[in-house]
Amino acid sequence: MNIKNILFEQKLELNEIMNKKNIIPRDIINQFDQIRESNLAKIVTGIRRSGKSTLLYLLLKDKDYGYINFDDINLYGRDASEIFNSFIELYGNVKYVFLDEIQNLTGWELFVNNLQKTYNVFITGSNSKLLSSELSSSLTGRHIQIQLFPFNFKEFIKYKNNLDTATNRGKNIIKNNLTFYMENGGFPEILIENESRNVYLTQLYRDIIEKDIIIRFNINHKRTYIDIVNFIMNAYTGYISYNKVKNKFNVGSVHTVKNYINYLEESYLVFFLDKFSYKEIEIEKSVKKVYLIDNGFIQIINRNSSDLGKSLENVIAINLKQLSLENNFNIYYWKDYNNNEVDFIIKMGIEIKLLMQVTYAMDEKDISMREIRALIQASDILRCDNLVIITWDYSEIKVFNDKKINFIPAWQWLLTPNI
């Protein structure tokens, strides 16, 4: 098939998919709506199937735009200029150019740089390094980047039209929805199109490992790498040591392990938190705490997993990660030599703004004093008195050792997060 016909088929497929979809606008769309006409390249990054293409379609559907999907196997290995010549032949003199999954095009940096001189360019990509450090060096000061996550809980509740917090019935429905969200995650196709979660996420997981990591980074020991990925994914809300992974899987060097783990993070499957320290070298050397980008993957990697405490902590971590990108703060965990641990430390600039624990607690008696003591200990050391414990269904403000602790139900905090 010639390139012009490939692009024509892509155009038909995009319109067909979008016309069938029950599209729910995302909260983040307002950020792009304000900058749509700027001469900066607009870039949406994020994990595959998080809704990047849909977001840009909503921005451009009423505009004169042309579309290229570089995730199409028929375009792999094709020359950029050859592709764009066919693009012009098909679309003519359009103003807007929509480039989907640009990381699959060899030499994309120069291609995008040249396009910007004439067109209003919108880009999606599923690799964080490609569209951050590499892009920044190519398009210094000439791009705006926003990371898109799967639906957060607030967006999910809006979609379900169940935002009634004034009645007990409404609150119970919200908690029921949170249970569903903790089990199924927030990928749009699962929530909106009623796709089978296990089938859909299993295939998505495989595509990310194969296409975005193994093929892209030319990993030779495929089976070993898949085993390492499964090991790391299963450790969600727990700790990952480079040396432990090296020894467990007989990898040649710690450097190789670091690369393997970086590839996983760059694909947006996971993200890591460092242990808090006032010394940068200690932060860099710290054991990492791992979280999944979406709770739907929990059952895919371990069908017997039923730890509600870990599931809830992972949901809170995702929400904090999203908020950190929007509000420019850093997230850490804290641990002392006596293994007192605080799940999340929020640092904005040089100031520690918030210490947070997460526990699946129905009422006060379910809350471990160990978690409270750790919070108080960290409060004294880090000189921060904004102390929060996220619970399942316990709401109270209590004082321990002259420290005020705010206990907040998870559903309430997720709908109105306060940092």
Q: How many CB atoms lie within 10 A of CB 314?
A: 24
Contact 186, 152 (CB under 8 A): yes
Q: What percent of the chain has pLDDT over 70?
A: 95
Residues 238 and 370 occupy one common structural domain: no
Which CATH number characterizes residue 53's domain? 3.40.50.300
Between 155 and 418, the more confident residue is 155
pLDDT-derived band at 249, boundaries 50, 70, 90 = very high
When pLDDT is averaged across residues 273-296 and rounded to a whole number, the result is 95
Domain closes at, from 273, 306, 339? 306
pLDDT of residue 138: 63
Q: Are strands 330-335 and 239-240 parallel, antiparallel or unpaired?
A: unpaired
Residue 6: the pLDDT is 96
Rounded percentage of the chain residues whose pLDDT exceeds 90? 70
Q: Considering the domain boundaries, does residue 173 fall inside one?
A: no
Residue 133, pLDDT > 70, answer: no
Q: Check whether residue 300 and residue 320 sit in a common domain.
A: no
Q: How far apart are CA 375 and CA 381, in angstroms?
A: 10
- Where residue 202 sits, what CATH number does that domain have? 1.10.10
pLDDT exceeds cutoff 70 at 145? yes
Q: Is the pLDDT of residue 132 over 80?
A: no
Domain boundary among 124, 147, 170: 147
Residue 295, in any domain of the structure: yes
- Is the domain of 122 the same as that of 8? yes
Q: Is residue 182 part of a domain?
A: no
- What does the pLDDT read at residue 399? 95
Residues 387 and 364 in one domain: yes
Residue 140 has pLDDT above 70, yes or no: no
Instruction: Assess if residue 112 is contained within a domain.
Output: yes
Answer yes or no: do 315 and 291 share one domain. Answer: no
pLDDT at position 348: 96
Is residue 95 located within the same domain as residue 217? no
pTM, full prediction: 0.93
Closest listed residue to residue 344, CA positions, set 336, 334, 359: 334
* Whether the Cβ atoms of residue 356 and residue 390 lie closer than 8 Å to each other: yes
Confidence grade of residue 137 (pLDDT, cut at 50, 70, 90): low
Instruction: Summarize the confidence of residues 116-134 as an average pLDDT.
Output: 77
- Give me 109's structure tokens: 């940096």
Q: Judge contact between 68 and 123, C-beta under 8 A.
A: no
Residue 347 lies in a domain: yes
Q: How many domains does the chain have?
A: 3
116 and 40 part of one domain: yes
Question: What pLDDT, in 10s, does the model give residues 17-48?
Answer: 888 777 777 888 877 777 888 888 888 999 99
Enclosing domain of residue 389: 308-419
On whether residue 167 sits in a domain, the answer given is no
For the stretch 344-377, pLDDT in tens is 999 999 999 999 999 999 998 899 999 999 999 9
Q: What is the pLDDT of residue 299?
A: 87
Neighbouring C-beta atoms of residue 372, cutoff 10 Å: 20
pLDDT digits 0-9 by tens, 187-217? 988 877 656 888 899 999 999 999 889 988 8
Is residue 159, in this structure, part of any structural domain at all?
no
pLDDT in tens, 152-174: 999 999 888 777 888 899 999 99
Q: Do residues 208 and 243 both lie within one domain?
A: yes
Q: What is the pLDDT of residue 193?
A: 62
Between these two residues, 53 and 23, which has the higher pLDDT value?
A: 53
* Residue 160 maps to a domain: no
Average pLDDT, the chain: 91
Strands 270-275 and 288-292: antiparallel
Regarding whether 130 and 50 lie in a shared domain, the answer is yes
